Amino acid sequence: MFDALLRPVIDPPLNRLGRWLAAIGISANMLTFTGLAAGLGAAVAIALGELGLGLCLIIANRVLDGLDGAVARASQPTALGGYFDIVADFAFYVSIPLAFGVLETDNTLPALVLVASFVLTGISFLAFAVIAAERGEETTAHGQKSFFYSTGLAEGAETIVVFAAMCLLPAWFGVIAYIYAGLCALTVVQRSALAVMRFR
């Protein structure tokens, strides 16, 4: 929901740093896989009860995720890079609630519900992107991307706020997870309605 609004604010500094990293030989894929390692490391830390470290690694993952796109734009974006980026994103997204499920058995059901909602949101997102590409549609609302990014209520910015809240308020994990799973479900409905309007 807020991703497109944040782009004009975060893109200029990211692009400047991306140009510098590209100039010294850092590739977008290097940043993608380093970010994935940080994200999965966050999940391990959370599962072991190190929530502060987990939050720091979540933030590191998101910074690196922003930088890989900036480096790609400063050099040569590739379809393979776009593929790795989205796979790494969803691997990170599902790992965090799973980590909270490992941390406390009371978190198991809300963690599974949240992961299921992420899967449905991801399917709607990717299906929309495939059909939009087949129709030759483009958008720059989320910056220059490898494929069509459709807007939804639950996007990257909201997910990071939710993950941070889970780390800071672990006793409220279940409530937060159920609420955000509901928002993800609404995102699927919203995106499906948009698909009906645009792909009819």
Provide the angle, in degrees to the nearest 10, between the axes of the packed helices 156-168 and 51-74: 160
The vertex-111 CA angle with 109 and 114, nearest 5°, equals 110
Domain spanning 3-199: CATH superfamily? CDP-alcohol phosphotransferase transmembrane (TM) domain (1.20.120.1760)
Is the pTM here over 0.75, yes or no?
A: yes
**What does the pLDDT look like over 107-146, one tens digit per residue?**
999 999 999 999 999 898 888 888 887 877 766 554 455 5
| Domain extents in the chain | 3-199
Q: Indicate the average pLDDT of the chain.
A: 87
- Please measure the distance between the N-terminal and C-terminal CA atoms of the chain and give it in whole angstroms: 24
Cα separation, 136 vs 55, in Å, equals 39
